[in-house]
Chains A and B, each alone.
Chain A
Amino acid sequence: QQQVKQSPQSLIVQKGGISIINCAYENTAFDYFPWYQQFPGKGPALLIAIRPDVSEKKEGRFTISFNKSAKQFSLHIMDSQPGDSATYFCAASGAGSSYKLIFGSGTRLLVRP
């Protein structure tokens, strides 16, 4: 019940295309859903996050779509750039556990020039 399932495992997108990464969770007590971006040799960095009171959040080229009834959320990267090539992790926390994050398995994104 604590799992966060992420897909796809890897993704190749042409420059200018849309990258879409999906996550699903089981624990309905989760109330915080962040996405992290990780470059090789670096720690994860927060990209964008959403709480269940909204269905969508947009920051620049990055959008989170959240479907509470389906217990799913997704990251959309518009106009993908080669600099976006990184590993992306979805995560979830809540249920009284503060920022003890449960991470998805990660998606390795490659944006071709």
Chain B
Amino acid sequence: SAVISQKPSRDICQRGTSLTIQCQVDSQVTMMFWYRQQPGQSLTLIATANQGSEATYESGFVIDKFPISRPNLTFSTLTVSNMSPEDSSIYLCSVEALGQGNTEAFFGQGTRLTVV
């Protein structure tokens, strides 16, 4: 399994500012994923982050708004830039790791962001 720690767990930010969310995994993983979960909604993939290469962004998400770093195999950051109230969401880090006999996706507890 994989244990994922996200920081901060929650934050309230002023519009126009930026917030960097950290994701730390207790084991080395190849691929890390960042998801957004808007209030009461489903999860939407923002980007895939591989160590040593540029992150791959999904349709509707751009690097200027959500820059991602992946400096090593256990850590990644997601920055939410120039925030607006529409960015208020839960941001989740995910990794794929060996679970109970199979590879599966594990999630952090999420970062609850409120933009005022």
Contact = CB atoms under 8 A, between A and B. Distances in A.
B103 A99 contact: yes
Interface stretch (B11-19, B66-74, B76-84, B106-114): B106-114
Contacts of A101: 33, 43, 45, 94, 105
Nearest to B97: A99
How big is the B interface, by class? 20 to 34
B87 interface: no
Secondary structure type dominating chain B contacts: strand
A102 B110 CA distance: 18
A49 B109 CA distance: 21
A41 interface: yes
Contacts of B4: 43
Secondary structure type dominating chain A contacts: loop
B105 A34 contact: yes
B42 A43 contact: no
Contacts, number: 52
Given A46-B104, A49-B102, A103 B109 contact: no
Interface in B38-61: 41-45, 48
A43 B41 contact: no
Contacts of B107: 36, 43-45
Nearest to B44: A103
A100 B42 contact: no
B8 interface: no
Given A100-B45, A101-B43, A42 B109 contact: yes
Interface of B: 4, 31, 33, 41-45, 48, 92, 94, 96, 99, 102-110
In the A-B complex, the 6 residue pairs with the closest CB atoms: A43-B107, A99-B96, A103-B43, A103-B42, A99-B105, A105-B42
